[in-house]
Chain A
């Protein structure tokens, strides 16, 4: 560009800048005027309109969840049941088992618990940290209730449980109320007697396997929905709009039916003498009836069915915006179909694929109804363990610790979703 031209550009830009300034003045004027039109307390009023729902959400959702999660790290049951023992342990006594003073405090505490009728509660909560402790505590309480006051060595002789290091390190872990015990247990970890962090013995380890299983099922279901959903999304996005909507209704019908109803339908289909087995035999795929109920395969078939629309719809919404003429152009420029698809189409469809897969993966982590009804004992996912700790074992601290882990994984993945893909770009309805 010559000098003259560049001058022109400068002059033009100066003109533009002038216009901007004028527009800015005007705009400011408008803003001042419109702010006079807007009631002065508009912001407060807007907040007041949203306040009832916000209060309801905080009181009946936010606080309950925080209260639940706090149970995972704060469990005052031991310090409440053994106040004197806790006090003495806090002050002194570094070795395990501790000295006479602590044993005297323990006996006094247990006698009082027995008198108040809270000893069973304590036995139960100690048992949730140290299996087998329940019967030992109750035996001790009975012994003390008979009126005897054994010395330290007499008690250890009568009930060797009190002489073990593990017993006292467990009690010591609970005297402050705050504890890392449950969160570590949720990862199959615990503090060793000499302060090291160890994995629990293989026989007692449960949760790492359950987390691995949950992630595995989620990954398999995500892959299956992708394999089934991607071609269908491609087909629908290339159909004329009227026919595309017709096919889309077939995808939306299952999407609008509740998870429970679809799980019920699958329990009917997956029976040993059910329709799926009938069909497989009629088609000659298998010669004998498969055990699909209470199996991993049955669970994945049903979960894939439920999750398919969640994977498909974000992919479809992205594919709809890719012009089919791009593939034709690539083709006419000499690209082979596979190359054209891989180099031109796939990179543009990828955000939709990522969004759909991530959404399905996250939702699969929280599955509860379908594994409970279709999975076998070895197909129960993390949510089922949480429910079991609440309903059957009444170990709320452990349920809280597992909830903490599940929520942490879920929120991390959502954060990744929001960070890389943006949450509002993909609408499902």
Chain B
């Protein structure tokens, strides 16, 4: 950090100021994530410190009352459906794209990535106006379909990255040894790219589990998810139950994304040992 081995006072001061500024920025970044955690264990119903006392009453509300439980159940249904659909379709698409003979790549890639580019409200309104006459609005299927659109780019990108180091000769060797394509895929390719696939699956799960805008347009009362319950709760009246729900959601998504990133790093390492 210091420019010279014998820094002047001015230089020490500049580095000190840089550290102080960065410490402030880090506090700004992290504090909002930490604050809801103690508040969710507050026995009182206000958002102030010091806490009135410790209790798990707000977790009992979130995990115990019918309304919140239904929301958690719906979130899990939608997120699992999305994960299955996005991971399978995204993995196959990434395998297809990794072939050097893939036609019209220049046109296909932008389409695959476009759900990340289009503003979420445009995607949600488009889906709502299109799905409603088809009877897909207010169904789990419609929400899963829309979430798969949002989640699939992450799967295509992570699986694609883990395929860059995959030696396609292994598939030829399997074919020469008499394996049908499906067997070669499950016995040779999938085990090698599994960290990438699982990482993509975790990204897909988190994308769906955290999503609220599409759900707001597509869901009826029967498909209310945990984020939608939080969104309406924040709009109507602020209850500490929201801090408990936020803590649960935050824990889940951070855990999953840490796993996803570790898996992705592992996929990169694993591919590095193979000859390119």
Contacts and interface: CB of A to CB of B under 8 A. Distances in A.
B35 to A, nearest CB: 6
A254 B130 contact: no
A74 interface: no
Interface in B1-43: 1, 3-4, 11, 14, 18-19, 21-22, 25-26, 28-33, 35-36, 39
Contacts of A234: 18
Contacts of A403: 121-122, 125-126
A64 B21 contact: no
A261 B96 contact: no
B30 A264 contact: no
B47 A253 contact: no
Contacts of A112: none
A406 B119 contact: yes
Given A258-B227, A366-B120, A368-B213, A54 B125 contact: no
Contacts of A337: 3, 11, 14
A308 B26 CA distance: 11
A65 B96 contact: no
Q: How large is the interface on A (under 10, 10 to 19, 20 to 34, 35 or more residues)?
A: 35 or more
A271 interface: yes
23 contacts: A45-B99, A47-B102, A49-B96, A50-B108, A53-B89, A54-B112, A60-B149, A61-B123, A67-B130, A68-B129, A253-B254, A254-B32, A257-B253, A262-B32, A263-B234, A275-B35, A328-B4, A337-B11, A365-B119, A368-B119, A372-B235, A396-B129, A407-B122
B155 to A, nearest CB: 9
A56 B122 contact: no
Contacts of B96: 45-51
Contacts of A239: 1
A71 B108 CA distance: 26
Given A42-B99, A331-B3, A232 B22 contact: yes
A111 interface: no
Nearest to A71: B129
Contacts of A386: 121-122, 125
Interface in B126-151: 126-131, 145-146, 148-149
Contacts of A275: 35, 47-49
Given A42-B101, A308-B29, A53 B152 contact: yes
A251 interface: yes
Interface of A: 37-38, 42-43, 45-54, 56-58, 60-65, 67-68, 71, 228-229, 231-232, 234-235, 238-239, 247, 250-251, 253-254, 256-269, 271, 273-275, 278, 305, 308-309, 327-328, 331-332, 337, 340, 365-366, 368-369, 372-373, 383, 386-387, 390-391, 396, 399, 403, 406-407, 410-411, 414, 429
A54 B130 contact: no
Contact of A268 (B14, B35, B93): B35
Contacts of A64: 126-127, 129-131
